[in-house]
Every structure is written in structure tokens, then in C-alpha cells.
Structure 1
Amino acid sequence: MRLAIAFALTVAQALAGPAQAGVNEALDDHILPGFERFAGASADLDAAARADCTAPALAVPFHAAFDAWLAVGDLRLGPSETGALAIAFWPDTRGFTEKTLTGLIQQENPIANDPEAFADLSIAGRGLFAIEMLMFDPDFADYGPESYGCALVRALTADLARQAAALERGWAESFAAVLRSAGAADNARFLSEEEAVRAIYTQILAGLQFTIGSRIGRPMGSFERPRPARAEARRSGRSLTNVLGATEASVMLAEALADWPLPETRAALARVRDTAAAIEDPAFADVDDPAARFRLEVLQQAVAAMASSIETEIGARLGLSAGFNAQDGD
């Protein structure tokens, strides 16, 4: 009798398939609140810049906005497919952000006082990484309260707040309904519930792969040629913080998508945190030291192991494989 019951439960789970996964929970517990928090944190940063634009005054709200972004920043779906690019233009392989900001400052370009024109500026000159460069790079950070640099910071924070609000609206007022109605006759984007589940599942794994290959892999370079200057948000000392924040966000989204416990994934996240605690330089500037490089390799392996746990505990259970993601080419 017990074997029959167990078999029946197994068959029921298999037949239920992806429909058991929580698209609504992923939206309601993680994605929509994440964009709401980011919009609020960006508005706070903008308000702080209007009160005092100098770099020391903006450090706390800047980090708060970046922390909030990490919860949803690796999503490349719906409004975020293109909307995320001007918020977080990285990796910047050709130094376009520095070139754009330098040109604006040298010309004292009046675009800083024209919000509509500023919204058409190259994505390399907008968003969190442009703000970070102005605030934390020694070549830019000494601007005064009456300088063009100050006006540019205020233009950037105002633009970021507008972008964040637009993303929140795009998800809350439009795209969330598209995901929720997957399989409906009038839904041309997701023809079945499984497609919506797979889309979110793909975001989880793609975010982890981006952390493995770019956030950790880019500054590691090769053993003969480490590249610490390629670390994400190194100027503000956030490289390790970003790895942890993005990794934890992936787990939170995975737990929201699944309607069952993920003990292997939770244990893998604990190992990621433990290995991260052993890293001494949060900006990965010491990656040219063999011992420091080894610790970063261990962290990279821990994040990869966590991705494998998610594939086992969600993907295998639902018969899912990851699809294409906009970050795959980075």
C-alpha cells in the first residue's frame, strides 16, 4: 500500500509538471517587490543628491540603491530586457563610460540641465556605473557643490530615478500580467504555463552564470595575467558585495519559483557565504597574489555548485532546461 501511494504521488508530480511552479509567487514575493524597492532607493539617492551632491554625502544612498538593484538586476526579461542596460552598463570593455563622462565635463555640456535630452544620452554615460565613476574615481570625485560635476551627478541620479520608476511600472502594470496569463488564448508571448516557468528559471541560471563568468571570472583573467581592473564596481569596493547580492537574489527567486524546499541550494548558498568570508579584498584588487586568486577560484566553484543544485532541485524535477538569455553573450 505504501509503495502504491508513493508511486501515485510521483506520477501526480510528473503530470503536474511546471504548472506546480510558482510564477505568481516569483512575481509577488521577489520580482515586483524588488523593483519597488529599487525605485524607492533610487528616488532616495536622487533626493540626497539634490540636497548635497558631493561624493561623501551620497555614499550611503548610493550603496543602498546598488544593493536594491542586485535583487532584480540580472533579470533580462520583459521591460528589463532593454531597460536594465542603461541602469547597469557593465562590463564596459572599451572604457566608454569614462570617455562619455570626460567629454561631458570638458565641454560642460548643457545636456545635464535637460532631462529629456539626457534620457537620450549613450547608455555608457548613464546609470549606476556612471554615478560610481563620478563619486569614487580619483579623476572625477573631487567635484565641488557648484561645479559642473555636481550638476552631472544630479542629472544622473534624477535619470536613474526615472528609469527605476519606469521599470517598476513596466513590470507591475504590464509584464507581470503577461507572465500570469501564460497559456491563455490571447497570450502570444507565453503559449503555455511551462514557457513562463522556463523563462523565470532561465533568468535564475543566467544570473548565476553571469556572476561566475563575469563578476568573478573577468578580474581573475588568467593565472599569468590577472585583471583586477576588470572587477565589477571596484571603484566603490563593491565587487564581492555584488557577487553575494546577485547570488542570494538568484536563490530567493528560485525559492519563490519552487513550491517545495530547496535544501541542497540553501546548503550551497551557505558555502558561498563561507568562502566569501575568506576573501580579504572586497574589490578583488589582490587577485594577482596566488593565495588571493585561489580564494576567488574557490568562490567561483561554490557559486557554480549552487547553480548545479538549482538545476537538480528545480530543473530536473520539472524537466526544464534553461533557454536563451540576453546576458548569454557577455
Structure 2
Amino acid sequence: MTLRSVTFCCAIIFGSPAFADLIAVRDNHILPRYAAFTEAAGALETAAETDCTAAAVMPAYHAAYDTWIGVSHIQFGPIEARGTALSLSFWPDPKDRTGKAMTRLMADEDPVVADAEAFAQVSVAAQGFSALERLLTDRQDNAEYACTYTQAIAGHIAQAARHLSADWQGGFGETFVTPGAAGNTTYLSPGDADRAVYTALSTALEFMHDQRLGRPLGTFDRPRPNRAEARRSGRSARHVVLSLEALQEMTNAFSETPLPEVNSAFTAAIDRVQALEDPSFAGVAVPAERFKIEVLQRNIRDLQVLIADDIGAALGISAGFNALDGD
């Protein structure tokens, strides 16, 4: 009998999954990553207030964006309740709503960017990292307005990070680790929080396969390198690496047993991204390089299937479960 079979059988015999260490997920993964995001976002806010020029803000932008990508797979809990995700990073954006919203603000020199409370009400497409990237990488004809706008976005990101971190450190952090307890109206049964973690993991891998890799790949006849996430600042491949690292950490925190096969698959995928040496996935338009990215995409799909078998089955979720299906 294989380790996978033993794990699944034990889950059936004892009536609980072998993958359910919610306290470890909270304390060793979610809380530290939100703390890092809060710290980096605060540094971004300070940098923008001190010197709002692109050259001065760019290092803090990269550092803060790194920490956001490292926690962006947690799409349940406070971020869902507050509806904050899109205002932090509005991507994918097939209709270029970010560009359109920014153009309107800047053409009108809308004073809303000077009022934090009012700025929170503008289009989410114009509020987060996607908009900030354009301010820092595109030519700005109105430097004074771009400065105030940069500061507004940095302040919005920092405030959102503080709120989310505080929510996790407060009541929701306890709610998450006590599913099925009396008065827990979020996770009514013991397995509900486990399923939230698994869904976050599966959905993040699906997003990586379909969006972070699928969008720039397009088709062989029509590759779409300009659709890569954060391509303007050369972060497309980095987002895949950061996400894989975060998901691997969460998986190991969640698991109460070693996962050598899953860890090997994560490590192999990370190594493959780094070996591309293609920060913005421009290689999708070059047949030889495109093949390497397609292989990476298949690796991500294989990893998702492996996790469905090793973790989803133990949780009583079928291997065919797709978190993006809304089932």
C-alpha cells in the first residue's frame, strides 16, 4: 500500500483528514505573511511621502508587491468580507479598465487623489498595485499630479494591509481555528475551514495555470506577451515563483504528515520558472522559449492534480473539484 493510500485510509478510519493543522496555517503562514505585507506596505507609504519620484518609490513598490503576492492566495476571511482583493491588484484586466480609469482621473486632475477617504470610493481598477505600476513605469506628463496619485495608492495599500492583518490577529484568527464551535457562524462544521484552505490552494494553482501563464501564452499563432501580469516592471515570472513558494509553505503547514512527492513537484516547478530567465514572459512569442513555458504550465496542472489526490481526497473533496467552478 502506498503512502497516499495509507493517508486516505487513515482519514476514513478516524473520521478526520490527515491534513488539518489550521493553527499552523494561521500562526506559521498567514499571520507572518500579513505582518510582512503590512510592514512592506507601510514602507511603501513612507517612501512615497518622502520622495514620490518613480526611481525613489520603485524599490519599495517591488518589496511591497512581493509580500502581497505572497499572501494573495488567501482569498477567504477578512479580504473576502472587506472586498479588498481587486482594489489591491486589479488583474487580469482584459478591457484595460485600469488604463481607462487612470486616464479619466489624470485628464481631469481629479482632486480625489488628495483625499484618502474619497479615494477609497474610486474605481478599484485605479487603486492598487496595477495602477501604481503604470505610474512608476509609464511617462507622466503631469509630475505633480502623478506624485499625489502615487501617494494615494501607497496610502490605500498600507491601510488595507493594516486592516487585514488586524482582522486576522483579532476575531477572525480565532474563528478560523475553531470550526464547528458554538457561535462560529462562518465555519459551521469542523471540515469547513479545511475546505477553505484547500480551495485557496487549488484556486491559486488554477489561476497560475489559466491566467499568469495562460494569458501571455495565448495560442501558438497568436501569443499575447503584453497580457502578462506586471510585465511593465518585469515581475511576471517572479509572481509565479513567489506564489509557488507561498503555496508550498501553506501546504506543508496544513499537512500533519510529510509530503515528499508534493514538495518535489513544487521545487521542480520553481526551478523551471527560474531557469527561464524571462522576467516578463516575452519568450511566449519565440517557439523554443514558448515550449519551455508550456512545459511549466503542464507542471502546474500536474501539481494541482497531485494535490487533489494527496490532500483533496483526504478532506473528502473529489480530485475533480475545481475551486473556480463555484461548486
Same fold? TM cut 0.5: yes
Cα distance, 1:324 vs structure 2: 7.1
User: What's 2:48 paired with?
Assistant: 49
Q: Distance in 2 between matches of 1:101 and 1:233?
A: 16
Q: Distance in 2 between matches of 1:172 and 1:31?
A: 10
Deviation track 1:271-328 (CA, whole Å, cap 9, x = no partner) reads: 1122213313210123111111111101111122222222232222333348675x65
Q: Distance in 2 between matches of 1:40 and 1:99?
A: 31
Give the AA of the match of 1:229: N
Give the AA of the match of 1:289: V
Partner-residue secondary structure (3-state), 1:67: helix
Contact kept in structure 2, 1:178 and 1:189, CA below 8 Å: yes
Q: Distance in 2 between matches of 1:177 and 1:324?
A: 27
User: What's 2:266 paired with?
Assistant: 269
**TM-score relative to the length of structure 2:** 0.91
Q: Distance in 1 between matches of 2:207 and 2:239?
A: 11
The answer to which of 227-236 and 299-308 deviates more is 299-308
1:157 aligns with 2:154: yes
Cα distance, 1:166 vs structure 2: 1.2
Counterpart mapping for 1:1-330 below 5 A: 11=10, 14-18=13-17, 21-81=20-80, 82-137=83-138, 139-140=139-140, 144=143, 147-321=144-318, 325=323
Deviation track 1:234-286 (CA, whole Å, cap 9, x = no partner) reads: 01100000011111111111111111111011110121122213313210123
Cα distance, 1:125 vs structure 2: 0.4
Give the AA of the match of 2:68: W
Q: Identity percentage over the alignment?
A: 41
Q: Distance in 2 between matches of 1:114 and 1:11?
A: 57
User: What's 1:3 paired with?
Assistant: none
Contact kept in structure 2, 1:74 and 1:203, CA below 8 Å: yes
Residues 1:168 and 1:12: Cα distance change in structure 2 (over 3 Å): closer
Q: Distance in 1 between matches of 2:65 and 2:76?
A: 19
Give the AA of the match of 2:112: I
Cα distance, 1:143 vs structure 2: 5.7
Q: Distance in 2 between matches of 1:44 and 1:143?
A: 25
Contact kept in structure 1, 2:10 and 2:18, CA below 8 Å: no
Contact kept in structure 1, 2:11 and 2:314, CA below 8 Å: no
Cα distance, 1:19 vs structure 2: 7.1
**What is the total number of aligned residue pairs between the two structures?**
318
Partner-residue secondary structure (3-state), 2:91: coil
User: What's 1:4 paired with?
Assistant: none
Residues 1:255 and 1:223: Cα distance change in structure 2 (over 3 Å): same
Residues 1:280 and 1:12: Cα distance change in structure 2 (over 3 Å): closer
Contact kept in structure 2, 1:22 and 1:259, CA below 8 Å: yes
Gaps of 5+ in 2: 1-5
Contact kept in structure 2, 1:19 and 1:194, CA below 8 Å: no
Partner-residue secondary structure (3-state), 1:278: helix
Gaps of 5+ in 1: 1-6
Give the AA of the match of 2:73: D
Deviation track 1:40-67 (CA, whole Å, cap 9, x = no partner) reads: 1100001011111111111111111111
Contact kept in structure 2, 1:38 and 1:65, CA below 8 Å: yes
Cα distance, 1:222 vs structure 2: 0.8
The answer to which of 302-311 and 156-165 deviates more is 302-311
Q: Distance in 1 between matches of 2:156 and 2:150?
A: 10
Q: Distance in 1 between matches of 2:19 and 2:111?
A: 54
Q: Distance in 2 between matches of 1:143 and 1:298?
A: 44
Superposed CA RMSD in Å reads 2.2
Q: Distance in 2 between matches of 1:285 and 1:174?
A: 44
Q: Distance in 2 between matches of 1:123 and 1:170?
A: 21
Contact kept in structure 1, 2:18 and 2:314, CA below 8 Å: no
Q: Distance in 1 between matches of 2:275 and 2:161?
A: 34
Deviation track 1:163-211 (CA, whole Å, cap 9, x = no partner) reads: 1111112222132222122111212221222111111111011111100
